[in-house]
Amino acid sequence: MTGNNSNPDRAALIAFVIAVIVLGVNFVAVRFSNQELPPFWGASLRFLAATILLFGIVRWRNLPLPRGPALTGAVLFGLFSFAISYAFLYWGLTRVSSGMASVLFAAIPLVTQLIASLIGQERLTWRGMLGALIVIVGIAIVFMEQLRFDVPFVYMGAVLLGVLSSALSGIVVKQYPKSHPVSTNVLGMGIGAVLLLLLSIFAGESQGLP
């Protein structure tokens, strides 16, 4: 926002459009990755590369890393936002289409609001309740359509668990002191990459390069 103007500035609008495009491509990219790499190893390799690049930005800009309670928040953020969420997402997308996964992940804001209201972090409004009802009906329709295409229920359930974990990450991180978002993400990604790598080894996946 610029001054008292209620409209977003041009830079914020451009950033929003880029974010929408990148997030939309994300699910397609995961499907491509799963065609060549085991799911957990593919996710780990992705976040290992991203952590290295992002850590370079942290060092270049001399950003402080989270400490104390903020460090705990960053660790939990990485656990829910990267490790658990993407483990379920990558595995679910071995059978679920990228379009259906993106529809389910679009429910994250409302799922977050519902959970936040249950724990007293936010107040649930009538608009939020109506939105949640629409989301629930939409998810039910998506499940029915996917079952028609012989997609096992467990894979759809995995994507939904990924949605739930992503929603929890936004709630958990608000319980701790704020730190720079880039520093929080580089730490969270690093933790997610290591945990996904351990999961890949435990699952007996081959760790080949793409």
DSSP string, 104-166: HHTTHHHHHHHHHHHTTSSPPPHHHHHHHHHHHHHHHHHHHHHHHTT--HHHHHHHHHHHHHH
Could you tell me how many residues make up the chain? 210
- Which range among 25-29, 85-89, 125-129, 179-183 shows the weakest confidence by mean pLDDT? 125-129
- Can you tell me the mean pLDDT for 6-32? 84
Phi, psi (degrees; rounded to nearest 5) at 163: -60, -45
Tell me which of 65-69, 113-117, 118-122, 165-169 is least confident.
118-122
Mean pLDDT of the chain: 85
Instruction: State the average pLDDT over residues 46-70.
Output: 94
Rounded distance between C-alpha atoms, residue 146 and residue 67, angstroms: 44
Using the structure block, give the residue that is written with the tokens 């936004």: 170
Sign of torsion over alpha carbons 32, 103, 156, 194: positive
Which pTM value belongs to this model? Answer: 0.82
